[in-house]
């Protein structure tokens, strides 16, 4: 085994009082793909950022070619050939593909930029990725997968010895993923050291030479990928039987509370029909971009939609989130930072924003608002250091609980929860799962949209599967398993790819 | 985590800053000229603050909701012009009577309502940048009043002027009407901002329009409402202003928009929206008026430098606002 190019030894990292990494070791060797896997919040991004020079460790060493090194910043690490490939949203939206690829290291001819040379080089880099994008196109005008490809091309252009890839395939289609994995094979053969993260374990099984598993900031496994099954990886990540996470499912009543017929959202959702029963948890599975969020935004009046929505037997006024709220139907967004909470405002103001009318007679009753916060803190176990702190200073899990509290304050009968546990730790996840089960048990009805299959499988009485903007299947009972759902979700996609 | 220590005193400074500046100015004024605190001077300063003040209260809501309105000065001139034309036109049929004045006032409010609504719809419904829309209407309203006045001055009928005069010059218990109206507008504005859903919604929209939308707030309607409210307050300010001079021309209300915006910013409302306070705006208006007044009373600095000092204070206010976030 060759010596590692880049390694960390006994690295710990704390943010304020919160320690997120505990004595972690990690090696990157030439010609090897080392996969780093773990649940959200396990410490993957922190590990990557320390390796790439974005953050220093609180304690422990970073070793470059066997010698301890302290990176001043990411530029310093980049100068040593260590390049991190970010997710696609780190590009300058208003600049062209070429300008992004050469950002900060523009080619010049005399005092002027050499656009011709930069465009040719960009073309060459993109060709390696089979990416047909025009180097002169503006980032904001190209598709999301193409943006990810540009991000990768940008890194390739920097002649990296070490490539750190942060979930590069999260937004790629199956075919684009294949191209990328082939490219990784070639880079490995050329002697590049590669750190690869993904939530898609099949990719890990296909591409990785070694696997390191992080759980709650600890390294719980490190070893060759060969012979390691996806189940073994998942178990190492979660650290317990998945079924323990979920309480037993309740039994829905035979009474329809929400009926959606032929709902369409221009270009995104086509002809979607489904119903929801009282006391039921209805899961919505599908790949990212399959139209689940858009469908629910159409149902709850956040987007213009065609078709009919009936709540408790009465037709719902279309296009009005307020009408939906009054009918007892609320939507809890997947994007808590941009759509859910006012990060710069206090907890109370966030908590009561959706149900402010309940506190108004005719003035806002601030004392009642204050009591509502006390109740919400107790009911949802919101851990806030200070009642007067800003929502943005809460941890992700507590933000999600505050958002739940805000939504429940509107006293809904039907709650649509989009990605209920995105980016939060396992302990809080379980609290939220418990809450969803109890909510259904109390006679409310819940729709759960989730990209984490285990979540849908563990919570839902029935699962609708979406692909390419259509509902492509419905499964219930024993059919709610990973294989059936994935088959449905992928079936449509591969057809599209062929088209 | 070292910000926590700074946090405990910075907000209080942020809150009290404008108030401290006002107190300093009052002490400064009183020490420079013994007439400064006299009844005559105080009422004079307050009455002249009233026009900008009434408009600035409305501007506070617009800015808090993440908007801006550059057209208010031109709008005031336009409303004044329309109001005078309507009143003059009514005299032949109704005569020089109180109903004519009342109809004139109604005209001002309606004209302000419509002008504000046009701004609001272009911004919130047609979704054009507030800066662009109001830059455009600023030119439009200004040119309309010039056109109505045929390049000159629109004068209110002389007899009617006598009847209307008391609205500016008289008052209640020695306090003139503009001051009373300004005080009422300020108090109602402060209550609306802090204790009505409307104020809370303005802050939410200014902080993050998406979050507001997802919280079942009718963003479009609320945004239009801020401009309509401002337009009507411009109408109200005009009602108080017209009896002062009895005329309107292309030079009426010039730079009022800047003074109103400056007062809002000095008062601590965030220019990018999300947070606003009406009482701060009132303090801001008073600060601007006092600077003008002190320069006129004292002969140390030329009154012609009034704009310079006001400009410095506006920039200083913004620097202090920003200092709150970039500490540590």
Instruction: Give me the number of domains chain A comprises.
Output: 2
The shortest CB-CB distance from A354 to any of B1, B210, B215 is to: B215
Whether residues A230 and A324 fall in one domain = no
Number of helices and strands in chain A (H, E): 16, 22
Residue B307: pLDDT over 90: no
CB A191 within 8 A of CB A20: no
- Which residues have C-beta within 8 Å of that of residue B285, sequence separation ≥ 6? B49, B52, B53, B56, B263, B267
Same domain for A294 and A330?
yes
Nearest CA in chain B to A364: B195
Inter-chain residue contact B215 with A363, CB threshold 8 Å: no
Based on the fold, state whether residues A443 and A494 are members of the same structural domain.
yes
Token pair, residue A11, equals 């690295």
**Whole-number Cα distances in Å, B86 to A96, A369, B81, B94, B245:** 57, 49, 9, 12, 17
Report helix, strand or coil for B66: coil
A341 with B211: Cβ contact below 8 A:
yes
Same domain, A361 and A449: yes
Distance from CA of B214 to the nearest CA of A (A): 6
Same-domain pairing of A200 and A311: no
Q: What integer pLDDT is reported at residue A116 of this predicted model?
A: 87
- For tokens 């009928």, the residue is B157
Q: A35 forms bridges with which residues in the sheet?
A: A196, A211
Question: Based on the domain organization, do A216 and A141 belong to the same domain?
Answer: yes
**Boundary residue ending a domain (A185, A206, A240):** A240
Asked if A300 has any chain B CB less than 8 Å from its own CB, the reply is: no
Q: Is A288 on the interface with B (CB under 8 A)?
A: no
Judged on CB neighbours under 10 Å (0-12, 13-18, 19+), B161 is middle
* Structural domain boundaries in chain B: 13-323
Measured distance CA(A230)–CA(A242) in Å, rounded:
14
Task: Tell me the C-alpha distance between A488 and A481, whole Å.
Answer: 11
pLDDT digits (tens, 9 = 90+) for B27-41: 988 888 888 888 888
A275-329 tens-digit pLDDT: 999 999 999 988 777 889 999 999 999 999 999 999 998 999 888 899 999 999 9
| Beta-carbon separation of A342 and B214 below 8 A | no
DSSP-assigned letters across all residues of A68-81: E---SSHHHHHHTT
Question: CB of B87 within 8 A of CB of B97?
Answer: no
Average the pLDDT over each of A193-202, A263-272, B13-22, B218-227 and give the range with the smallest value. Answer: B13-22
A149 and A66 in one domain? yes
Quick one: CA torsion of A125, A129, A132, A138, rounded to 10 degrees? -60
Query: Residue A178 maps to which CATH number?
Result: 3.40.50.300
Facing residue for B215 by CB, picked from A16, A353, A362 = A353
Nearest CA in chain B to A331: B214
Residues B204, A354: C-beta atoms closer than 8 Å: no
Q: Among A240, A260, A277, which residue terminates a domain? A: A240
ipTM here? 0.80
**Residue range B13-323 in CATH 1.10.3470:** yes
Q: What pLDDT was estimated at residue A440?
A: 92
Q: H helices of chain B, where?
A: 3-32, 39-64, 72-94, 98-120, 130-148, 158-164, 166-169, 177-195, 197-207, 209-214, 219-245, 256-266, 278-297, 306-323
Subunit contact A364:B200, Cβ cutoff 8 A: yes
User: Which of A240, A268, A293 is the last residue in one of the domains?
Assistant: A240
A394 at the B interface (CB within 8 A)?
Answer: no
Q: Answer whether A322 sits within 8 Å of B216, measured CB to CB.
A: yes
Per CB distance under 8 Å, which residues of B are interface residues toward A?
1, 191, 195-197, 200-201, 203-204, 207-208, 210-218, 274-275
| Least Cα separation, residue A393 to chain B (angstroms) | 11
A141 and A290 in a common domain? no
Cα–Cα nearest to B237, from B40, B43, B57:
B57
Confidence (pLDDT) at A241: 57
- Residue A156: per-residue pLDDT: 82
- Residue A233 belongs to what domain range? 4-240
Closest residue in B to A356 (Cα–Cα): B197
Q: Which residues of chain A have pLDDT under 50?
A: 492-499
Tokens 């100068």 sit on residue: A79
Q: Is the same domain home to A342 and A388? A: yes
Higher pLDDT, A222 or B229: B229
Task: Determine, for residues B196 and A360 on separate chains, whether the beta-carbon distance falls below 8 Å.
Answer: yes
Whether residue A198 is found in the same domain as residue A293:
no
What pLDDT, on the 0 to 100 scale, is given for residue B20?
Answer: 84
Q: Do B195 and A364 touch (CB under 8 A)?
A: yes
**A397 vs A394, A427, B8, B211, CA distance in Å?**
8, 9, 26, 18
- Determine, for residues B214 and A362 on separate chains, whether the beta-carbon distance falls below 8 Å: no
Radius of gyration, alpha carbons of chain A: 24
Overall average pLDDT of the B289-306 stretch: 82
Whether A103 and chain B come into contact, CB under 8 Å, resolves to: no
Q: Which of B2, B193, B215 to mutate to test the interface with A (most CBs of A within 10 A)?
A: B215
Work out the minimum CA distance from A358 to partner chain B, whole angstroms.
11
Domain shared by A252 and A195, yes or no: no
Please report residues of B whose CB lies closer than 8 A to that of A338: 208, 210-211
The tokens describing A189, both together, are: 């053969």
B11 pLDDT more than 70: no
Q: Are residues A339 and A210 in the same domain?
A: no
Give how far Cα A392 sits from Cα of A19, A347, B11, Å: 19, 9, 17
The mean of the pLDDT values for chain B is: 87
Q: Which residues contact B108 (CB under 8 A, 6 or more apart)?
A: B79, B80, B82, B83, B235, B236, B238, B239, B242
Q: Which of A74, A70, A72 is nearest to A62 (CA)?
A: A70
Q: What is the pLDDT of residues B128-177, one digit of tens each?
A: 999 999 999 999 999 999 999 988 899 998 888 888 888 888 888 878 89
Mutating which of A344, A369, A393 best tests the B interface, going by the most B Cβ atoms within 10 A? A344
């Amino acid at each position: 085994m060759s010596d590692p190019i880049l390694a960390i030894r006994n690295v710990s990292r704390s943010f304020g009082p919160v320690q997120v990494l505990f004595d972690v070791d990690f090696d990157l060797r030439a010609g090897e793909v080392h996969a780093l896997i773990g649940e959200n919040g396990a410490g993957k991004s922190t590990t990557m950022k320390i390796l790439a020079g974005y953050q220093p460790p609180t304690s422990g060493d970073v070793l470059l070619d066997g010698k301890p090194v302290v990176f001043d910043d990411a530029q310093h690490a980049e100068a040593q050939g260590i390049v991190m490939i970010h997710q696609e949203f780190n590009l300058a939206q208003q600049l062209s593909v070429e300008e992004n690829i050469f950002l900060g290291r523009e080619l010049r001819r005399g005092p002027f930029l050499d656009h011709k040379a930069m465009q040719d080089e960009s073309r060459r880099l993109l060709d390696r990725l089979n990416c047909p994008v025009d180097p002169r196109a503006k980032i904001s005008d190209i598709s999301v997968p193409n943006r990810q490809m540009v991000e990768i091309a940008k890194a390739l252009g920097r002649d990296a010895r070490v490539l750190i890839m942060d979930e590069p395939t999260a937004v790629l289609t199956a075919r684009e993923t294949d191209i990328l994995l082939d490219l990784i094979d070639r880079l490995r053969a050329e002697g590049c050291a590669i750190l690869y993260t993904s939530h898609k374990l099949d990719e890990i099984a296909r591409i990785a030479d070694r696997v390191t598993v992080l759980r709650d900031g600890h390294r719980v496994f490190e070893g060759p990928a060969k012979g390691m099954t996806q189940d073994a990886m998942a178990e190492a990540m979660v650290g317990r039987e998945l079924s323990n996470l979920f309480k037993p499912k309740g039994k829905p009543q035979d009474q329809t509370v929400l009926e959606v017929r032929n709902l369409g959202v221009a270009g995104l959702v086509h002809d979607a029909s489904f119903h929801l029963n009282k006391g039921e948890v209805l899961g919505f599975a599908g790949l990212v971009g399959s139209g689940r969020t858009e469908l629910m935004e159409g149902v709850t009046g956040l987007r213009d939609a065609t078709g009919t929505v009936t709540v408790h037997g009465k037709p719902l006024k279309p296009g009005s989130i307020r009408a939906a709220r009054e009918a007892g139907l609320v939507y809890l967004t997947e994007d808590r930072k941009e759509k859910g909470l006012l990060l710069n405002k206090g907890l109370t103001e966030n908590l009561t924003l959706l149900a402010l009318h309940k506190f108004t007679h005719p003035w806002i009753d601030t004392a009642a608002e204050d009591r509502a916060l006390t109740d919400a803190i107790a009911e949802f176990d919101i851990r806030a250091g200070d009642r007067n702190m800003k929502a943005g200073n809460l941890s992700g899990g507590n933000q999600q609980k505050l958002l739940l509290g805000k939504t429940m304050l509107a006293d809904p009968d039907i709650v649509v929860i989009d990605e209920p546990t995105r980016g939060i730790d396992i302990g809080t996840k379980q609290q939220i799962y418990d809450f969803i089960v109890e909510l259904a048990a109390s006679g409310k009805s819940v729709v759960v949209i989730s990209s984490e299959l285990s979540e849908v499988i563990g919570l839902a009485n029935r699962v609708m599967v979406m692909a390419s903007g259509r509902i492509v299947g419905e499964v219930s009972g024993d059919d709610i398993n990973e294989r059936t759902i994935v088959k449905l979700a992928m079936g449509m996609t591969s057809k599209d790819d062929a088209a | 985590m070292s910000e926590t220590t700074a946090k405990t005193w910075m907000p209080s400074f942020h809150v009290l800053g404008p108030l401290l500046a006002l107190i300093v100015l009052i002490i400064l004024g009183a020490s420079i000229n013994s007439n400064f605190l006299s009844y005559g001077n105080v009422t004079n300063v307050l009455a002249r603050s009233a026009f900008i003040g009434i408009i600035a209260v409305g501007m506070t809501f617009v800015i808090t909701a993440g908007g801006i309105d550059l057209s208010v000065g031109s709008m005031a001139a336009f409303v004044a012009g329309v109001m005078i034309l309507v009143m003059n036109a009514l005299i032949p049929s109704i005569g020089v009577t109180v109903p004519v004045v009342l109809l004139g006032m109604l005209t001002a409010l309606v004209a302000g309502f419509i002008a504000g609504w046009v701004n609001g719809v272009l911004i919130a419904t047609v979704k054009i940048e507030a800066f662009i829309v109001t830059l455009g209407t600023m030119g439009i309203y200004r040119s309309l009043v010039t056109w109505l006045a045929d390049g000159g001055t629109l004068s209110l009928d002389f007899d009617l002027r006598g009847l209307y005069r008391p609205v500016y010059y008289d008052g209640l218990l020695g306090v003139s009407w503009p001051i009373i109206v300004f005080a009422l507008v300020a108090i109602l504005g402060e209550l609306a901002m802090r204790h009505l859903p409307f104020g809370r919604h303005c802050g939410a929209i200014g902080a993050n329009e998406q979050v507001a939308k997802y919280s079942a707030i009718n963003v479009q309607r609320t945004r239009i409402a801020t401009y309509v409210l401002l337009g009507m307050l411009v109408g109200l300010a005009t009602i108080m202003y017209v009896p002062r001079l009895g005329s309107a021309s292309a030079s009426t209300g010039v730079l009022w928009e800047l003074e109103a915006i400056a007062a809002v910013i000095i008062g601590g409302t965030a220019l990018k929206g999300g947070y606003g306070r009406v009482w701060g705006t009132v303090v801001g208006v008073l600060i601007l008026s006092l600077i003008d007044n002190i320069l006129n009373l004292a002969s140390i600095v030329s009154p012609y430098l009034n704009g310079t000092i006001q400009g410095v204070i506006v920039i200083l206010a913004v620097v202090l606002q920003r200092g709150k976030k970039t500490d540590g």
